[in-house]
Amino acid sequence: MIADSFAAELIKLILINIVLSCDNALLIALVCRNLPAQLQKKAFWWGSMGTVVLKVALTFIAARLLEIPYLQAAGGVLLVYIAVSLLRQDPEETKAQSQESGLWSAVKTIMIADLVMSVDNTVAVAAVAGGDLLLIGIGLLVSVPVIMFGADLVTRIMRRYPYVITLAAAFLGYTAWEMVREDHFVGPYLSQHLAQAEMLIPWLLVAVFLLYGWKQQNRVVTIKRSQTR
């Protein structure tokens, strides 16, 4: 019975980790899309392992971090900045970087964004696991191949359909708003003073990202066309 209960809890935790790993895979794909093919695998590996290491570390302190005033809201603002920076990223400038600097720049961006995105997710996973470190550890290890496979798949899709880049950045923007809204200090203020606008703001943010991403995509296409003439 104990073994059956452990197996059931483990399966549940693995499924939760797979779902929560989707945004990590999307982020890694967005950051690594312009890297040379030979560096992407390395970036996927280091980014995935970095995500797991961060989540392991956060497991012990995430609940306390969420109690720090305005920290989650500040993380949301930082995530907006990262998403905008990724949309502004020029493929030609990325290619001009040295391979080593391009790789570690991508890994650094992944780690920073994962840090701000993973705190509340880690609390949720720890709560589901009931604080069982073995369950948490196995669940996180299983998420590594999921993140790597997902990042590789999304990168291929982005190459074939560039507009997916804009959709991914818009999703990060929406996630950033959720982080701000769920902040224990900012959230109640928004509910009290901006209750009517609270539903509108995230979709307005998504619309801004879509418009900005569309303009950036058109700019890249125009530059490429001028270079081929």
3-state secondary structure of 17: helix
Sign of the torsion formed by the C-alpha atoms of 141, 146, 151 and 152? positive
Question: How far separated are the first and last CA of the chain, in Å rounded?
Answer: 71
Q: Which of 157, 172, 185, 192 is nearest to 24 (CA)?
A: 172
Residue 28 and residue 43 in contact, taking contact as beta carbons nearer than 8 Å: yes
All structural domains of the chain with their residue ranges: 2-228
Q: What H or E segment, with its residue span, contains residue 185?
A: none
Q: How far apart are CA 25 and CA 21, in angstroms?
A: 6
Residue 169 and residue 83 in contact, taking contact as beta carbons nearer than 8 Å: yes
3-state secondary structure of 207: helix
Predicted pLDDT of residue 223? 64
What's the pTM value of the predicted model, to 2 decimals?
Answer: 0.76
Residue 146 and residue 21 in contact, taking contact as beta carbons nearer than 8 Å: yes
Per-residue model confidence as pLDDT tens for the chain (229 residues): 556 677 777 777 777 777 777 777 888 888 888 888 888 888 888 888 887 788 778 877 776 777 788 888 888 888 888 888 888 766 555 554 555 567 888 888 888 888 777 776 777 677 667 767 777 777 777 777 888 888 888 888 888 888 888 888 888 888 888 888 888 888 888 888 777 777 888 889 899 999 988 888 887 667 666 666 5
